[in-house]
Structure 1
């Protein structure tokens, strides 16, 4: 099996990695606050396949205040980024009552409605206002 990281652009260190991750989200029409990262070690992106990975020094839990949703970001986050979507996402979980089902697909409606969809393998789909994931929320 081919290495999904082959041909990747790689940025290391928190400043460069965070800037790179945000630029990837921006380029694909995704909310810039979608990945509130801390202590980034490296961010890689393969433009031809859309494969992205992020390595962090520690797990991050972020509370999106507007929608009162606690989201957990693992040490390693991977997925395939395309226009208005991240699929086959690994390393992100959103708290639902007492459970933390993994989020594996994030998409924005096209044409834009201001809504963002989160799907889990468990079949749970949640829809939130896109602005809840703007930078600084």
Structure 2
């Protein structure tokens, strides 16, 4: 794939998870935003910001502080930049009985302690950033 040209790629759970968390930190995003399990591969193209994560299987995670269930597909990808992930695919948040795909995540800048999740349907949800700290 052309979008993966020049990528840094890490394989295996330990290396992949470390790279994913390092990327979140580098771009000022909460470290617990991507609670991954059984990571197969993580890749990042610095020139374009394109990143991808491959897991063995889909993972559902409950962010307890905000009582929100989020589903992470086995294939997640998007473009990461300062305080933002755009064109995100492979992440869905449960809203009542629906699972709308999340296609953009953005931390407010200047920082207010809030993070925005946008879906293609135009739904935006705002939560406290600390709800996505590592281990929550």
Q: Mark yes or no: TM-score above 0.5.
A: yes
Deviations 1:47-100 (A, max 9, x none): 010000000001000000000000000000000000000000000000000000
The 1-side partners of 2:117 and 2:49 are apart by 19
5 Å matches for 1:1-137? 3-137=2-136
Deviation, 1:125, is: 0.2
Distance in 2, matches of 1:97 and 1:83, equals: 31
For these two proteins, the number of residue pairs brought into alignment is 136
How far residue 109 of structure 1 moved from its aligned partner, in angstroms, is: 0.6
* Structure 1 residue ranges without an equivalent (≥5): none
Q: Distance in 1 between matches of 2:31 and 2:77?
A: 17
Alpha-carbon distance in 2 for matches of 1:116, 1:126: 8
| Residue segments in structure 2 that go unaligned for 5+ positions in a row | none
Moved >4 Å (runs of 4+) = none
The Cα offsets for residues 24-61 of structure 1, whole Å up to 9 and x where unpaired, read as 00000000000000000000000010000000001000
Provide the C-alpha distance between the structure 2 equivalents of 1:25 and 1:47, rounded to a whole number of angstroms: 13
In structure 1, distance between residues paired with 2:14 and 2:109? 31
